[in-house]
Homo-oligomer: A and B are copies of this chain.
Amino acid sequence: MPSNRKGSVRLSDVAAIAGVSLSTASKVLNGTDRISEATRARVLAVAERLDFRPNALARSFALGRSRTIGVLTHRAASTFSGPVVIGAVVQLGKLQQAALVFDEDVLVHREITESIRQFQARQIDGLLVVGDGHERRSPSITHHFTVPVTYAFGASDHPEDVVYLPDNEGAGALATRHLLERGRTHIAHLTGNPSSIAVDLRERGMLTALKEAGLRPAAPTRYGSWIEDSGEQAMRELLDSGAKVDAVFCGNDHIARGVLTVCAAKGIRVPDDVAIVGVDNWEGIIVDQGVRRLTTIDLELRTLGQLAAADVLAADRTPGEHHVPPTLVLGPSS
């Protein structure tokens, strides 16, 4: 009969009923130290019968572990980091860890410092820093903590940090190999702003895959911006250039969508005349059971969040950049 304030069963209740000391009961439940089989069984039976659930707060206090992971995000609202954050917090939940999420609109030094103090006061067991997916490396804050720090979707400026990133180069290669498998040999690339490293990496992946097949691009890569209009314009220019093209690898799905529009307007059959592959899998994010129009590469951002979250809690963490393999999502455009 627990005389608790909440009426819940304490370890001392279990110990008393099982006729052992508090310490023995604790050792049984935690599997530490040597305990005779008889006692073990007895304590476990009592614990089971009373439906004993250790008070997580007391446990945390005694062990000095909060079972809480800090998550520092830079505008979690942003399009792409959303899935990363979701993947992370869900994975943390699976691992019985709470997430303390601080979303800084701007990563100014002042704000960060305050967040760090908050995290420390809360005794977080680890920290996940979620970037905004852009290329700028964020200042490493690992040294502020004694607990593991993992960076996701944005690298830090310290090479020894553990970083999880999408595999943009792999995405380019995957898209290209898919088109090659479809028998395409005249592949062009229409993409976004060349100042973006993602653009560079995706293109490099394509070139690698082409080279493996002994091929070259059907036309010089056309750079523009990430939006639909840009895709339309680039596709028109590509067609006007007279280059022979039987496939277009697009830097993202917006551009691919623009390409689709131009094809429809010009009577070009997709994928019979021209196959199209995009990147991002927006249709997957957006539509539940909508009709898919594009074949695309999914960068698996949710998985990225999951892996990074699991990494924070992992025993063996390897420094450096980890790239999350993208997947091919088949649609009617290839």
Contacts and interface: CB of A to CB of B under 8 A. Distances in A.
A129 to B, nearest CB: 14
Nearest to A67: B122
A201 interface: no
B86 A120 contact: no
A86 B79 contact: no
B68 A285 contact: no
Interface string A44-80: 0000000001111110110010111001010011110
A101 interface: yes
A6 interface: yes
Contacts of A99: 89, 98-101
Contacts of A302: 77
Contact of A66 (B56, B86, B228, B289): B56
Contact of A64 (B6, B67, B228, B289): B6
A58 B123 CA distance: 10
13 contacts: A55-B123, A78-B288, A79-B288, A82-B83, A82-B86, A89-B101, A90-B101, A93-B100, A98-B122, A99-B99, A228-B290, A228-B293, A285-B286
Given A77-B302, A254-B287, A57 B101 contact: no
A236 B290 CA distance: 19
Given A98-B68, A120-B53, A90 B61 contact: no
A103 B77 contact: no
Q: How many copies does the complex hold?
A: 2
Interface residues of A, number: 58
A227 interface: yes
Contacts of A86: 76-77, 82, 85-86
In the complex, which of the residues A6, A96, A98, A121 has the most CB atoms of chain B within 10 Å of its own CB atom? Answer: A98
Interface in A86-108: 86, 89-90, 92-94, 96-103
A153 interface: no
Interface in A218-236: 226-229
Interface of A: 5-6, 53-58, 60-61, 64, 66-68, 71, 73, 76-79, 82-83, 85-86, 89-90, 92-94, 96-103, 117-118, 120-123, 226-229, 254, 282, 285-291, 293, 302
Contacts of A6: 64
Contacts of A89: 71, 85, 89, 99, 101
Contact of A226 (B73, B94, B102, B290): B290
